């Protein structure tokens, strides 16, 4: 029955009572884009641009970048493509954007912090993205990684607009930004929760350490509370909030996230059918009840088991 339901599901993400939740792909380059572009999904919610340049030994030129971005955008036609500017540093070192060794790389000069120290790299990337967006007609939206403050969001948004790109967003993956999301999102057009880093920083557990995986579990009630606070802030400010961490591809967690108020879920493309099915079996009020139940749990395991028991059994 589950296999039939999975196979028959098509079209945009929507709850049983008609509430839309966009289903998007996480991609890391041209090959991923070509594969995902042919699938039944609504676009890209996270293009991790640093993946393209992991082996580059010098900074790519504007034209070199523009050519890659054109190839990434084309398979999506007029669908949305959310591009994250270089998230270099920590677990993703780039040879041409290396500020030297750090004692605590995950807490160091990574993501937008590195862009602030090397603004010429950010400007070249934004220029290339603007060229490729114009050449392809794609619905390109640009977001910054590792934003912690209102000032950082405002600085990024100004640079995005100066480069003629229409939409600026921020990843919400630092608890400080999540708790203050109403103020942070007031500076930009949208937010996207990075639950991988948000769990790492909320639980003070290095995501590179497999031995800490229980702490990094996005079902941790503290992580759900921080996500809920971020969604409340987005609602206050009237900005859409998505999720692009791995949690978006867990069908039960996708229901909880929908109940908390997110309007898009971006995941490994292979996860889209099961998340679409999960949404189609539940109404928005049911998702809200699942979210409330998860947040009353004392432990991650209890949150998961509570939602599993209350959700439709096909999942």
Residue that has been written with the tokens 């995986």 in this structure: 213
Contact between 32 and Mg ion (CB under 5 A)? no
Contact between 48 and ligand PEP (CB under 6 A)? yes
Among 194, 233, 249, 273, binds ligand PEP (CB under 6 A): 194
Q: Would you say 66 or 178 has its CB closer to Mg ion?
A: 178
- Per-residue b or e along 178-193, where b marks 16 or more CB atoms closer than 10 Å to that residue's CB: bbbbbebbbbbbbbbb
Q: Tell me, what DSSP letter sits at residue 41?
A: S
| Distance, CA of 78 to CA of 140 (rounded, Å) | 9
| Distance, CA of 126 to CA of 54 (rounded, Å) | 18
Among 197, 217, 246, 286, binds Mg ion (CB under 5 A): 197
Contact between 173 and ligand PEP (CB under 6 A)? yes
Three-state SS for 284?
helix
Q: Would you say 195 or 220 has its CB closer to ligand PEP?
A: 195
Q: Would you say 147 or 307 has its CB closer to Mg ion?
A: 147
Residue 48 binding result from ligand PEP, Mg ion, none, given CB thresholds of 5 to 8 Å by partner type: ligand PEP
CA 146 to mean position of chain CA atoms: 11
Contact between 173 and Mg ion (CB under 5 A)? yes
Contact between 245 and ligand PEP (CB under 6 A)? yes
Q: Which stretch binds ligand PEP (CB under 6 A): 8-16, 93-101, 188-196, 255-263?
A: 188-196
| Distance, CA of 284 to CA of 211 (rounded, Å) | 36
Residue that has been written with the tokens 């405002």 in this structure: 154
Q: Would you say 28 or 221 has its CB closer to ligand PEP?
A: 28
In 3-state terms the chain splits into helix, strand, coil percentages (rounded to 5) of 55, 15, 35
Query: How is residue 123 written in tokens?
Result: 């400007």
What minimum distance in Å lies between the beta carbon of 273 and ligand PEP?
A: 21
What minimum distance in Å lies between the beta carbon of 48 and ligand PEP?
A: 5
Q: How far apart are the first and last CA of the chain?
A: 11
Contact between 71 and ligand PEP (CB under 6 A)? no
Residue 86 zone, left/alpha/beta (φ > 0; ψ -120 to 50; rest)? beta
Q: Which stretch binds Mg ion (CB under 5 A): 42-50, 190-198, 205-213, 233-241?
A: 190-198
Contact between 196 and ligand PEP (CB under 6 A)? yes
Q: Which stretch binds ligand PEP (CB under 6 A): 136-144, 154-162, 192-200, 220-228?
A: 192-200
| Distance, CA of 31 to CA of 176 (rounded, Å) | 35
Q: Would you say 205 or 311 has its CB closer to ligand PEP?
A: 205
| Distance, CA of 56 to CA of 60 (rounded, Å) | 8
**Which positions touch Mg ion (CB under 5 A)?**
173, 194, 197
**Which positions touch ligand PEP (CB under 6 A)?**
46, 48, 87, 173, 194-197, 244-245
């Amino acid at each position: 029955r589950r296999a039939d339901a999975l196979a028959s599901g098509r079209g945009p993400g929507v709850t049983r009572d008609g509430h839309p939740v966009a289903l998007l792909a996480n991609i890391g380059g041209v090959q991923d884009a070509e594969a995902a572009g042919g699938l039944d999904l609504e676009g890209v919610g996270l293009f991790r641009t640093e993946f393209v340049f992991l082996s580059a030994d010098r900074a790519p030129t504007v034209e070199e970048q523009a050519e890659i971005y054109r190839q990434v955008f084309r398979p999506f036609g007029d669908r949305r493509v959310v591009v994250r500017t270089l998230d270099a540093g920590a677990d993703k070192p780039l040879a041409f954007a290396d500020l030297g060794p750090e004692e605590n790389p995950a807490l160091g000069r990574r993501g937008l912090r590195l862009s602030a120290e090397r603004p010429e790299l950010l400007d070249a990337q934004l220029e290339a993205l603007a060229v490729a967006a114009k050449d392809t007609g794609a619905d390109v939206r640009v977001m910054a990684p590792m934003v912690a403050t209102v000032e950082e969001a405002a600085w990024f948004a100004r640079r995005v607009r100066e480069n003629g790109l229409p939409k600026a967003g921020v990843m919400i993956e630092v608890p400080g930004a999540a708790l203050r999301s109403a103020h942070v999102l007031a500076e930009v057009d949208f937010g996207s929760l990075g639950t991988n880093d948000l769990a790492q920083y909320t639980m003070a557990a290095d995501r590179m350490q497999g031995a800490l995986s229980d702490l990094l579990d996005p079902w941790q009630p503290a992580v759900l509370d921080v996500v809920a606070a971020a969604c409340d802030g987005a609602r206050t400010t009237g900005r859409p909030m998505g999720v692009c961490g791995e949690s978006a591809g867990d069908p039960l967690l996708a229901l909880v996230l929908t109940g908390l108020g997110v309007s898009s879920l971006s995941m490994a493309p292979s996860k889209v059918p099961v998340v679409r099915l999960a949404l189609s079996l539940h109404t928005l009020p049911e998702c809200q009840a699942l979210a409330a139940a998860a947040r009353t749990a004392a432990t991650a395991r209890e949150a998961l088991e509570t939602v599993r028991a209350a959700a439709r059994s096909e999942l």
